[in-house]
Structure 1
Amino acid sequence: MTGAHVLEPHRVVPVVVLHDAGSAGDLGAALASGGLPVAEVTFRTAAAPDALRTLAERGDLLVGAGTVLTPDQVDIAHDCGARFVVSPGLSADVVRRCQEIGMPVLPGTSTATEIMRALELGVGTVKFFPAEQCGGVGMLKALSAAFPDVRFVPTGGIAADSAAAYLDLPPVLAVGGSWMVPPDLVRQGRWDEVAALCAETVARLPPSP
């Protein structure tokens, strides 16, 4: 069940909140030039679908939809070119819709019970969310000991100086975070600084376990 995952080549996933879809192209260029050609566009704003479509059309980025709460949003994400879906919690309806259309899905989990439900649905890679608030690395070690075949993408409260501790854990596929795409820089269009933060993040990545 662990198998290859669409995120396999990417150890850090920038979590993006865009209020202006018109800035998506510049953001995509900054991510690519900074060496992080992947993005999770959160469905927290009205601009998200158009921003997702713009990023997906570039062709040099792996783009997914985040904060997906309903099967209808799964369909919107798919129509906009998403390659994966991320949800803050575990919705059987969202998971099943993703499975129906062949869309990789990362349901959010923070407890053993939720991980067991994910496994029952046939999902072996899950989001651990909110990671820092739910016990961080220590909690993830405990969960992975109980579920040795599950892979995790911890997200939530992770910063540049804490990402490595998660990535050092063998069951961690990738980490999600927004430290390289801070809202102020994105809003102000300071793309060179975003690209520099991406490059710094890549340079600080620990070796794969």
Structure 2
Amino acid sequence: MTWLDKLERKWGRHAIPNLMMTVVMGMALVFACNLLFPRANLISYLYFSPGLIMRGQIWRLFTFIFIPPNSSLLWIVFSLYLYYFIGTSLEREWGSFRFNVYYLLGMLGSIIAGFITGAATNSFLNLSLFFAFAAVYPDMQLLLFFIIPIKIKYLAIFDAVLYLYSFMMGGWTVRAAIIASLINFFIFFGPNVINRFRSNLRYRQQRQAWQQNARNNRNGW
């Protein structure tokens, strides 16, 4: 029994069903309010700020996840649909509790990074969902630009390269945010990656040994 199994047995009844639907609806609502009432500047009351949190604005620990991408209406619609599709697919695969744990671990990492660096966003957190989706459904196809079919795993590789570039070229604030936002991915998938690496390493070593034995046998004849 894994640590997740133990947690689910004890706390599973407290899981929030359709969590990604709640997050996406919150983003849509914030975007609509900013579009209809720009002077209200709603995002100024939601973004993560360690200083304001320490002064009592505790809600900022959570509300930063509802800030939508700063983009056009068409891209917002596409992004929110993608978040919803990825989140609900993972929840169907894992169950509500495990998806909650994955998302909340990503939030916790972002919050920790926010207190260290002074800022936190949901951008890397949402991208960590994409990496999880690619790990679970690597061969699923997505229509890039609604036209070009491409497998999820290739998009994930492209995003990983962007992550690496941002990590190498960005400041310590960006690096802390990237590391923190991927904590959930490494906790969930790290053991599988390590085991796969070990299996591949053992296979290569055995193959090299077989090839060496075959050469020795041929030379012995």
TM-score of Structure 1 vs Structure 2, range by shorter chain: under 0.3
TM-score by length of 1: 0.21
Larger Rg computed on CA atoms: 2
Q: Which has the higher contact order (CA 8 A, sep 6+)?
A: 1
Q: Which has the higher helix share?
A: 2
